[in-house]
Amino acid sequence: MARIIYSLAGEGRGHATRVKSVVEQLRRRHSVVLLAPGIAYDLLASAYDQVPQVVVHSIPGLHFQYRNNRLEYLKSIRQALPFVWSLPAHVAAVERLIQQEQPDLAITDFEPILPRAAERCGLPYISFDHQHFLLANDLSSLPITLRWKAWFLSLSINRFYRRQRRTVISSFYAPPLRRGHEDTEQVGVLLRPEILQAHPIHGSYLLVYMRRVLPQRLRDALQGCGREVRIYGVGRQPDEGNLKYREVDEEGFLQDLIGCDALVSNAGNQLVGEAMYLGKPVLAFPESGNFEQAINAHFLHRSGAGQTADMAAFTLDDLRRFLERLPDFRGSIVPDAIVGNQRALAVIEQEVGAILAARPAVPSAQAA
């Protein structure tokens, strides 16, 4: 048994869902100290309140900034400056926690505080996220504009950390690795037990998850599609005919995902991967200005499991064409190729085993 300290970023629910999937496997054999900011802390602290093998601590985090529902990278950078200035103090606080908890290994999901504290304490750590695909993968299949944006975003990856023992990428797609990154481990999407144990059915309704706002063009198309539509992410609102609005609720959303005919959502890696594992075609609308989601949508389209659309020009006819192709999209999905839980756990257990084996043996009392 080892003690593992695990940190994650807190923008959206994808990081928390991915980390929870890993922790559910780790806590069977190890104890885990989780460090999470914002929404992720709220979700994980509630989930593990009565689980003795897992302790959850709150840490500061970075958050994307939006204007008119468009991701603003420059504004996000400006808003991050106070966090950057306070980073030494945050690192010192996590150093003290490491000294107190005495973990054997650290894991980080694109979070910058724990890796710096681990380096100062001599604690080995693993990078385990989605974002490192920008550095490690050959993205030459992208359109030229997305390729340049991916290159620009990749410049920031090493600013988070760069001295990890292993790099693990969790993604529903796996382009070839670039030269120099051959030791990177590519695993599929990390799935919650509820997803792995589900028995999906294909109901007649559509499931929609849009963060913050449901654009009018999409609303109009959904109203005219002739199906029930269950909508999450934009808050509880009065139902409008076939449009049924739901509060964000993990259990309710999961059951609706298991039973829907298709998913309409932003292009987050975790949710798209969960839908694909359940055999659900995806109609993806990348958040405006979110280049990472645009790349996810590109690879969704290439997989044949769904398509991406331009919100500014989307119409009811576009939605009808997507619905007509649902059998083709569903036939392109290979669920077993999506799931990465066992491969991910194997990497962590290899590192834990190597670290514990390298420690000097402690003399027994009899030998002394």
- Quick: pLDDT tens for 332-368: 999 999 999 999 999 999 999 999 998 776 565 555 4
Q: How far is CA 304 from CA 30, 147, 280, 325, 338, in A?
A: 39, 21, 12, 10, 13
Q: How far is CA 311 from CA 215, 294, 297, 319, 349, in A?
A: 8, 12, 13, 11, 43
Q: Which residues contact 313 (CB under 8 A, 6 or more apart)?
A: 217
Please check whether residue 329 is in contact with residue 306, taking contact to mean a CB–CB distance below 8 angstroms. Answer: yes
Q: How many CA atoms lie within 13 A of 205 on its CB side?
A: 16
Question: pLDDT tens across 46-56, in order?
Answer: 999 999 999 99
94: closest CA among 71, 61, 127, 65?
A: 61
Task: Please count the other Cβ atoms lying within 10 Å of the Cβ belonging to residue 314.
Answer: 18
Q: Which pLDDT score, from 0 to 100, does residue 291 have? A: 86
How many Å apart are CA 215 and CA 284, to the nearest integer? 13
20: closest CA among 8, 31, 29?
A: 8
Q: Does the pLDDT at position 70 exceed 90?
A: no
Specify the pairing of strand 229-232 against strand 282-284.
unpaired
Query: Model's pTM, two decimal places?
Result: 0.87
Both tokens of 276, joined, read 């694909």
Q: Which pLDDT score, from 0 to 100, does residue 75 have? A: 56
When pLDDT is cut at 50, 70 and 90, the band that residue 266 belongs to is very high
Residue extent(s) of CATH 3.40.50.2000 domains in the chain? 3-190+340-357, 194-338
Share of residues in the chain with pLDDT > 70 (%): 91
Q: Helix, strand, coil % (nearest 5) of the chain?
A: 45, 20, 40
Superfamily (CATH) of domain 194-338: Glycogen Phosphorylase B; (3.40.50.2000)
Q: Which residues are paired to 137 by β-bridges?
A: 177
Question: pLDDT tens across 96-139, in order?
Answer: 999 999 999 999 999 999 999 999 999 999 999 999 999 999 99
CATH 3.40.50.2000 correct for 3-190+340-357: yes
Mean pLDDT of 291-309: 94
Judged on CB neighbours under 10 Å (0-12, 13-18, 19+), 203 is middle
Q: Which residues contact 285 (CB under 8 A, 6 or more apart)?
A: 210, 215, 218, 264, 265, 266, 267, 297, 308, 309, 311, 314
How many Å apart are CA 158 and CA 162, to the nearest integer? 5
Buried b vs exposed e over 116-149: b needs ≥16 C-beta within 10 Å? bbbbebebbbbbbbbbbbbbbbebeebeeebeeb
